[in-house]
Amino acid sequence: MGRIIAISDIHGEFDKLSAVLDKISPQKEDTIVFCGDYIDRGKKSKEVVDKIIDMQNYCNCVYLIGSHEYAMLHANSNDYYNYLFWNYGGDSTVESYGSFDNIMKIHGDFFKNLKFYHIIGKYLFVHAGVRIGVPLEEQDEVDLVYIRHAFFEHKHNLEYKIIFGHTEFDEPQVWEDKICIDTGCGKFKSAPLTALVIENEKEYFVNSF
């Protein structure tokens, strides 16, 4: 079995994504789980999505939905998500694609088929986390992409180690039952993009610096 690689919260930072992928050098037996928030804030959202789709030619890829994709997909039908999209970096995404309508014209199939979570062995990958005490199959999709303190401040009762992003820290956060890999890429110019690599049952981090 190859390596398992998790990358989350790229936020349009194409150069940082490329730097991480160059360092990791994914091989055909490896699996990358992209944990959402590919768009917004950074200047190259379209290029980021092109890049992660293209990675299917080099290794196995799994694509999860993040809070920013969720807001974008609901922006035209819900005032709250429309506000979130435009006020949290969506203008950069629209600029990257040329127009809001172009987002779905160019990458609509990709965005509509994003998964809410993915399991590989003892690991569960999700964008934001889970609601403590709720069985996995009964989780609310909004929690899966938006939850913060109610998840990471408490031990969960699922049988998996959960790998997630969404809430940024200065460095990866490692707990007994979970790991957060969002280190602020796209939100802070000096922040790196950080990937988790699981190889031979060992976990280590690779960042864009």
Tens digit of each residue's pLDDT (9 = 90 or more) over 1-48: 899 999 999 999 999 999 999 999 999 999 999 999 999 999 999 999
- Measure the CA–CA gap between 159 and 141, rounded to whole angstroms: 19
Question: Model confidence over 168-209: pLDDT tens digits?
Answer: 999 999 999 999 999 999 999 999 999 999 999 999 999 999
Whether this prediction's pTM lies above 0.75 is answered by yes
pLDDT tens digit sequence for 105-146: 999 999 999 999 999 999 999 999 999 999 999 999 999 999
- Show the domains of the chain with their CATH numbers: 4-207 (3.60.21.10)
Half-sphere exposure of 112 (CA within 13 A, CB side): 7
Q: What are the DSSP calls for 112-140, one per residue?
A: HT-BSEEEETTEEEESS---TTS-GGG--
